């Protein structure tokens, strides 16, 4: 796998990191289908005859899935990893029809790296606007460790990221902004306008060196919500929303709905395209344990927070599988001016810093795993909204990589089921039932060559939640050795 001696590398496999991603767009025309039809032999009228499509229940002709997926070849050959590389395989599926003339946005993200064999596993998401239309999981091997050609599209790094914090000049919002700045986030901060609190926060953030932008918007007004959404849509690499803003507890219910629910929904919709392009994003609502405790006079406040939590739950059903998740952090009483008139002098309270650290923990936590948290001065609980249990609900949606990680963390090596391994091997290598697996191995079984072996190892790692070392891979070249490795794998 070493590069030829006369090659001066402009790029290297070691430069890649999990989370690196590229974004580009394509628009397909009837001429693209004509070229595809000539090449493939597919002349299905559904793809080129509008009247035929209408007669069979559709409004427009549909771009063939293989045309939509054609840029995957360039993703591998020109970007991840680039020239020269070997395309090992992919799994793909259509989610919604693509029409000719629509702009399709492609996001390709490095989901995993196999350093020993220089293999990248990529997650590709194709979107029209903020609607996913196709997805693929692909595997590509770099031919050398270094090569001359640079990536066709700019590679965006995981830690180039911006966070929106609403209510940022408040005591909790300020603490959250400062903690995120310390973690390297760029910040978009919403408040109602210049004030002593804003000046104090800005001065503290200056010392952190974070890139900071304030947007003045009254979220109790429609114009203010619009201004916030516009600022979010313009933000670069937006990957996090932390919604802290709230009117006073005794405000009319309409004010609570506007600030807690309508503003969050508008910010989420505006941020969604950027988060989907990253295949990574989180919206964190600062909720309230009042939704459980039923404090007298807090009904409107708690009800609006519950609406916002339900919004994020429904968003999870649509987007968690693509790495974009919503979370509610519901603190008990926090020692701020906001709650001062509602608590006793001897009540145990949280500090704004404690809430901020929990926000950072959620923000930096696993990608694509929705969970909510109730945090009080006495304890911490996590799960889905309603908090029926102390652990994550089993039916919580997860992204592809998060689901694999979850399965791996709960697998017991000593009891790992290897009964399905033979079926996996046959399917991966395309072996007929008549070919025995006893004694099968690399170089001795038809189709089990060095490239197929790499694909097989990657499939086994994914299926059984394993992370194999190069030494383990080199020592595993027969079906029997593979059985032993899976049964007692780490």
What is the domain range of residue 294? 162-397
Task: State the pLDDT at residue 489.
Answer: 54
- Say if residue 396's pLDDT is above 60: no
Least confident of 22-26, 78-82, 464-468: 464-468
Query: pTM of whole model > 0.75?
Result: yes
Residue 55 lies in a domain: no
Instruction: Quote the percentage of the chain above a pLDDT of 70.
Output: 87
**Same domain for 263 and 195?**
yes
What local confidence, expressed as pLDDT, does residue 283 receive?
98
Are residues 138 and 171 located together in one domain of the fold? no
Q: Are residues 131 and 175 in the same domain?
A: no
Whether 93 and 202 map to the same domain: the answer is no
| pLDDT given at position 394 | 36
Please identify, among 103, 122, 147, the residue that sits at the C-terminal boundary of a domain: 147
194 and 332 housed in the same domain: yes
Tally of domains in the chain: 3
State whether 108 and 177 are in the same domain: no
Residues in the chain: 490
Same domain assignment for residues 124 and 257: no
Residue 156 belongs to a domain: no
Query: What pLDDT does 290 receive?
Result: 67
More reliable by pLDDT, 184 or 449: 184
Of 417 and 260, more confident:
260
What confidence category does residue 8 fall into, taking pLDDT thresholds of 50, 70 and 90?
Answer: low
- In this predicted structure, the answer to whether residue 94 has a pLDDT above a threshold of 70 is yes
Residue 180 clears pLDDT 50, i.e. is over it: yes
Averaging pLDDT over each range in 142-151, 364-373, 453-462, which range is the top one? 364-373
- Of 6-20, 90-104, 117-131, the range with the lowest mean pLDDT is 6-20
Q: Write down the pLDDT at residue 455.
A: 79
CATH number (domain holding residue 122):
3.10.129.10
What confidence score (pLDDT) does residue 231 get? Answer: 97
- Between 424 and 166, residue with greater pLDDT: 166
What pLDDT does 291 receive? 65
| pLDDT of amino acid 407 | 40
| Average pLDDT value over all residues in the chain | 85
- Among 113-122, 167-176, 410-419, which stretch is predicted with the lowest mean pLDDT? 410-419
Q: pLDDT by residue (tens digit) across 308-356?
A: 999 999 999 899 999 999 999 999 878 777 766 666 676 778 899 999 9
- What pLDDT is attached to residue 386? 56
Q: Is residue 153 part of a domain?
A: no
Is 136 found in the same domain as 95? yes
Residue 422 confidence class, pLDDT cut points 50, 70, 90: confident
Domain boundary among 338, 368, 397: 397
Query: Which pLDDT belongs to residue 431?
Result: 77
pLDDT digits (tens, 9 = 90+) for 195-224: 999 999 999 999 888 999 999 999 999 999
**39 within domain boundaries:** no
Same domain, 205 and 309: yes
Shared-domain flag, residues 225 and 255: yes
- pLDDT confidence tier of residue 397, bands split at 50, 70 and 90: very low
Q: Which of 62-71, 89-98, 392-401, 426-435 has the lowest mean pLDDT?
A: 392-401
- For residue range 139-152, what is the model confidence (pLDDT) as tens digits? 999 988 887 778 88
Examine residue 317 and state whether it is found in any structural domain, yes or no. Answer: yes
pLDDT at 6: 46
Give the pLDDT confidence score for residue 457 in this predicted structure.
Answer: 85
Q: What is the rounded average pLDDT of the residues 102-116?
A: 94
227 shares a domain with 342: yes
Q: Which of 369, 397, 425 is the last residue of a domain?
A: 397
User: Are 416 and 387 members of one domain?
Assistant: no
């Amino acid at each position: 796998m070493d590069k030829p001696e006369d090659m001066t590398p402009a790029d290297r496999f070691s430069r890649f990191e999990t989370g690196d991603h590229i974004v580009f767009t394509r628009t397909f025309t009837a001429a693209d289908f004509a070229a595809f039809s000539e090449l493939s032999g597919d002349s299905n009228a559904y793809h080129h005859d509008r009247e035929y499509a209408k007669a069979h229940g559709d409004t427009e002709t549909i771009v063939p899935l293989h045309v939509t997926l054609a840029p995957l070849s360039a993703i591998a050959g020109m970007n991840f990893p680039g020239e020269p590389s070997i395309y090992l395989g992919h799994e793909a599926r259509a989610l919604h029809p693509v029409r000719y003339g629509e702009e399709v946005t492609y996001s390709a993200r490095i989901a995993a790296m196999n350093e020993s064999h220089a293999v990248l596993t990529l997650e590709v998401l194709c979107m029209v606007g903020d609607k996913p239309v196709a997805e693929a999981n692909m595997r590509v091997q770099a031919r050398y460790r270094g090569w001359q050609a640079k990536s066709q599209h700019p590679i965006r790094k995981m830690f180039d990221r911006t966070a929106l914090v609403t209510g940022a000049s408040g005591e909790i919002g300020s603490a959250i902004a400062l903690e995120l700045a310390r973690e390297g986030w760029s910040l978009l901060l919403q408040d109602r306008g210049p004030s002593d609190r804003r000046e104090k926060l800005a001065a503290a953030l200056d010392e952190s060196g974070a890139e900071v932008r304030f947007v003045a918007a009254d979220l109790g007004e429609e114009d203010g919500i619009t201004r916030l959404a516009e600022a979010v849509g313009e933000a670069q690499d937006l990957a996090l929303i932390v919604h802290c803003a709230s009117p006073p507890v005794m405000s009319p219910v309409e004010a609570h709905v506007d600030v807690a629910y309508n503003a969050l929904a508008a910010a989420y919709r505006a941020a969604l395209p950027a988060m989907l392009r990253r295949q990574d994003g989180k919206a964190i609502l600062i909720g309230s344990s009042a939704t459980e405790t039923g404090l007298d006079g807090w009904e409107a406040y708690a009800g609006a927070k519950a609406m916002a939590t339900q919004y994020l739950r429904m968003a999870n059903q649509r987007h968690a599988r693509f790495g974009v998740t919503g979370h509610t952090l519901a603190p008990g009483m926090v020692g701020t001016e906001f709650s001062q008139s509602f608590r006793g002098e001897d009540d145990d309270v949280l500090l704004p810093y404690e809430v901020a650290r929990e926000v950072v923990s959620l923000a930096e936590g696993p990608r694509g795993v929705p969970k909510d948290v109730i945090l009080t001065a006495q304890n911490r609980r996590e799960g889905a909204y309603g908090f029926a249990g102390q652990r994550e609900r089993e039916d919580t949606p997860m992204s592809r990589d998060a689901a694999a990680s979850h399965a791996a963390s709960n697998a017991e090596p000593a009891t790992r089921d290897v009964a399905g391994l033979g079926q996996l091997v046959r399917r991966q290598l395309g072996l007929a039932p008549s070919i025995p697996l006893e004694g099968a191995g690399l170089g001795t079984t038809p189709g089990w060559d060095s490239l197929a072996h790499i694909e097989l190892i990657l499939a086994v790692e994914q299926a059984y939640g394993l992370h194999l070392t190069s030494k383990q891979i080199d020592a595993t070249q027969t079906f029997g050795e593979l059985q032993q490795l899976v049964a007692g794998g780490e």
